[in-house]
Chains A and B, each alone.
Chain A
């Protein structure tokens, strides 16, 4: 409040005030003259020819080059542990950017280019067959306890006349009698010639990480990447109220994947040629000081061609630890196109800031992805086991006999051209209730058409259609949209409140409800009938193979397209959820933020979120699962014809729901504290600590034990990291000619000016350990069997070391045909914590006020920390323990240095 001035004061102040008005008037006149001269006024004269600015005077930009080379790096721990002396890394990243006005001040252009040339070593530690095994000699092969591995000759199989069906199958009550291979050697005459050709392409062991001969193949293979891309932007001011901007980007590249083995049997990823194009046109119209309209057109296309020409090989998979051969999807052609038009309208009415956004998007996904054009063959121990007895048989032995327990091939006649349209409307009101309280209300509505195919080559199993083969529900129906048009609303509310009237303290809260849109999947899922998957299934994996390699895959019985209702029978059939049920999310958060003296900001947040009907993949849902009460049938379950009749839809093996079946649930609670320190001395620091707990009924590396009791699957989320600490900082060092220390003004300023450091550190506690039993003898009913908990034994160890991270004696392999009673993920056991620390040091050389050269050295994991790998989670029975359970065999990580140079002008 201004003080009142007495009369005498006014008399004295009057001339003073007049003088002041005069000076300010003079300043105003000078302001007008200066702004006119500097061209800052509408009535400024055009610049004279003598003052013309050339493009190089008004354009800015930079040239940059970043180098990484293994000469600068530490040897990665995983390589050093295998006796290696160096990694392979050659990487050059180079680019430029120029930007500036092109026509007066109203049009501004920017062009950026970046290229990458990289060759990097990829290492992998795997298990392959030892040399004797490749010729059928398993005399040196041991089980996980180190005892000789028994393999049996399937040709000697005969019924046990003394078998008592009233008692469980056991070594004392065998259903079938089988003789072991003499000397545990398969005679060479019995070896399958196709399998032996595969063996000739399979690598020999070259390492001995163990235990026993496991983890015996270590490979460091180069991966290359070549990419070039540009971004061009144009921004044009049409007049005071409207502006048009254009953004175009393009990138092309070619990536050569690393090889796990140097033959056509390599199971590694495909090489890939790819390109991406983006274009955006945006028009901003300021209708009034309080009303803005933004019209945006977005176009995007991504194309990828992944294959290795000339490398065509079947996909061989071995149960157990052995590295497979071949790969799925050896040919992958995909293209994604997105066309989007949106209009946003913002206005202010009274104390309400209103915003409406309408958007229409058309998606196109083109895919040609035959999974197994040369066939997929899986090999298990059953065919070389003593039927019904655990720890007998060997998957690689079954392979050498050419006896696959399951096989399928992909006969894909044509690509798929998927389409979907989405229209959405979002309305938001930010309401200033009082000076201390702001409220935000938001509502949205999305309308999505179902996924359709350009040529109507679409199909799905419909569970309400009778299958002509067996008269049971469930038949493949082709054509039309598999799902209805869906409307999904959403709403949220939020507030910001200054409880004490102090603007430095803010309480924020929010709550929201939303649905997740059903994506357009990049696959050919839902095209059976137009494409085929001839499948062979073993009648009993212990007694008969699904197929012998030497006989090859059976051909499709009928030509494509085959749109009969029973086409997908006896296969893993594609099932599209018929109601387009959408995942539903709820979230709420509350935070308190306080700015303290010294530019210190502290914020605490509590957050809760949950999701229902989340999309899960095939490991999380199986609508054709046999109810687990049928485990009582015990060994009869090994008979496929018996098992089939127990399935809800016996005509199908199971359903492929392609990560799109809405049945998962999750809940997450988190609390976090964030501390920020800002300092004009050049220090910026942010530290965050978060504690969280996330539970769900679907996540994890193995899947769900009981598909009919999701409540029993409720456990810690497999990737839940309960404690997370992060620290980031940047500091302009207080040295140099314009700083408080070493303020040299002579030649030494070139050495001390322009130093800064940046860093990031992250510390993460471990994820919950997901244990699994070594043997799963449940007749194929349980896909993800859990372990049993041994009562009274502490799973924790007093001192966790790599030699013993947890106590495996606290768990047990469930008995045959019983479920495990342990949790899907353990509530207290955690994998090792990890940490990473990155540091960047920059030295800036100012050439003049506009140009500067920056040298930058960045150390990723600069302290060269080794992070332990996860302990072995496989629990064997007491009779055949996994001696490696709970042990950690190595660590990963290593310092990487990048040196960069940037010239800015």
Chain B
């Protein structure tokens, strides 16, 4: 792996954004091998791989805390985050934000685990869930960092939010309780699905991968749809989501998410000319098992 450090040391800086052809950063997760000699296509046409950044390259993790529920679950999440932050290598810094009442910075980027842990431990949750209200802003921020710096950037949401605990209404509550023949709520998850589909469309315009660890699984139909929507949102960005079904699941889910973020790759592509807004990316590396984000909406 030292070889990659050397290569990184002498590698050219990332091309400046805003001039020349459009570029795309494709997040990828490698389960076997190393993505050397990678070949790429965009909408089936060959695309130039400009740069490849992997686990040994710099990484900035935007950790967004969105806790508003049971403190026993929150405490388990704090324990998990503390352990995961302690394991961050020197090339990975993290910043801490909160999601209630809009995105707010709690801790600027640092590689000092103590600072991060202190911020996590002094974070006061409570109130309303904020993931759906903030994830677009957070992705926008992450994209800006991706474009303007040479680091890999990833978002990690730790949330315990119930869809019933949002300020905005996604649950379509019964308004006329005497309306016994109301069938419009027979499928109560439709507003949630509509919202998450809308957000997926929006997040497809972003490049930073999003990981979500939801620490409190809920079994009702609307929360099921919400939790499923979170998974779709995360995977649409090239990230992953874990829904913890018990407290014992929480530390390992956070640890696993941190590990996957640290190990994710970022493949810089030069977009070939074209008019298509919705593009499909293909990556191929010999002797390498790789999953990667395939769909992007780009502004040409």
Contact = CB atoms under 8 A, between A and B. Distances in A.
Contact of A16 (B8, B103, B144, B249): B8
A473 to B, nearest CB: 45
A38 B124 contact: no
B31 interface: no
Interface in B148-178: 148-151, 153, 167-169, 173, 175-178
B193 interface: yes
B78 to A, nearest CB: 8
Contacts of B181: 91, 118, 120, 225
Interface string B73-111: 001100000000000011101010100111111001111
A108 B166 CA distance: 11
A113 B175 CA distance: 7
A760 B193 contact: no
Given A23-B58, A229-B176, A898 B184 contact: yes
Contacts of B153: 27
Contact of A852 (B8, B58, B198): B198
Contacts of A233: 167, 169
A506 interface: yes
Interface stretch (A7-15, A135-143, A810-818, A821-829): A7-15
B253 interface: yes
B184 A28 contact: no
Interface stretch (B19-27, B263-271, B275-283): B275-283
Contact of A34 (B141, B244, B245, B251): B141
Contacts of A503: 244, 246, 248-249, 252-253
A737 B278 contact: yes
Contact of B9 (A19, A348, A432): A19
Contacts of B6: 12, 16
Contacts of A93: 179, 182, 184
B60 A348 contact: no
Interface in A626-677: none
B218 interface: no
Contact of B245 (A237, A595, A680): A595
A728 interface: yes
Contact of B224 (A60, A115, A682, A684): A684
A2 to B, nearest CB: 7
A44 B220 CA distance: 40
Contacts of B110: 28
A558 interface: no
Chain A facing B: main interface SS: strand
B137 interface: yes
Nearest to B228: A684
Please indicate which of the listed interface residues B168, B189, B276 has the most CB atoms of chain A within 10 Å of its own CB: B168
Interface string B181-212: 11110110111011001101110110000000
Interface string A314-356: 0000000000000000000000000000000011100001000
B175 A237 contact: no
A847 to B, nearest CB: 11
A414 interface: no
A533 to B, nearest CB: 31
Given A289-B121, A758-B189, A842-B190, A16 B197 contact: no
A593 B249 CA distance: 12
Contacts of A5: 2
Please indicate which of the listed interface residues B90, B176, B179, B235 has the most CB atoms of chain A within 10 Å of its own CB: B176
A428 to B, nearest CB: 10
Given A24-B111, A26-B149, A286-B126, A34 B144 contact: yes
B194 A854 contact: yes
Chain B facing A: main interface SS: mixed
Contacts of B128: 235, 243
A20 B295 CA distance: 30
B41 interface: no
B8 A289 contact: no
Contacts of A586: none
Interface stretch (A80-88, A247-255, A443-451, A464-472): A247-255
B120 to A, nearest CB: 9
B225 interface: yes
Interface string B262-300: 000000000000001110100000000000000101000
A17 B297 CA distance: 35
B36 interface: no
Interface in A420-457: 430, 432, 435-436, 438
B221 interface: yes
A680 B137 contact: no
Interface in A868-897: 896
Contacts of A240: 124
A738 B201 contact: yes
A197 interface: no
Contacts of A749: 278
Contacts, number: 291
A715 B107 CA distance: 65
Interface in A32-76: 32, 34-35, 38, 40-42, 60, 62, 64, 66, 68
Nearest to A110: B169
B187 A760 contact: yes
B276 A40 contact: no
B62 to A, nearest CB: 8
A78 interface: no
A743 B198 contact: no
Contacts of A105: 101-102
B194 A844 contact: yes
A756 B187 CA distance: 12
Nearest to B153: A27
Nearest to B57: A20
B5 interface: yes
Contacts of A754: 197
Nearest to A225: B179
A579 interface: no
Contacts of B252: 503
Nearest to B275: A745
A586 to B, nearest CB: 24
Contacts of A852: 194, 198
B294 to A, nearest CB: 9
B123 to A, nearest CB: 6
Nearest to B143: A34
A259 to B, nearest CB: 18
A840 B187 contact: yes
B279 to A, nearest CB: 9
A228 interface: yes
Nearest to A674: B219
B247 A432 contact: yes
A850 B8 CA distance: 41
A380 to B, nearest CB: 35
Interface string A832-851: 00000010101010100110
Given A40-B105, A231-B173, A60 B194 contact: no
B58 A24 contact: yes
Given A27-B60, A27-B145, A738-B204, A32 B177 contact: no
B245 A27 contact: no
Contacts of B90: 17, 20-21
Contacts of A9: 2
B79 to A, nearest CB: 9
B186 A251 contact: no
B68 to A, nearest CB: 9
Nearest to A241: B124
A38 B141 contact: yes
Contact of A276 (B5, B177, B225, B235): B177
A570 interface: no
13 contacts: A28-B95, A28-B110, A30-B145, A40-B137, A105-B102, A112-B169, A115-B176, A243-B126, A506-B246, A508-B246, A842-B190, A846-B201, A852-B198
Given A255-B178, A749-B278, 7 more contacts: A9-B2, A13-B5, A20-B57, A108-B167, A108-B168, A230-B175, A347-B71
Q: Which 7 A-B pairs have the closest CB atoms?
A: A353-B72, A28-B109, A503-B249, A229-B175, A227-B176, A114-B175, A27-B149
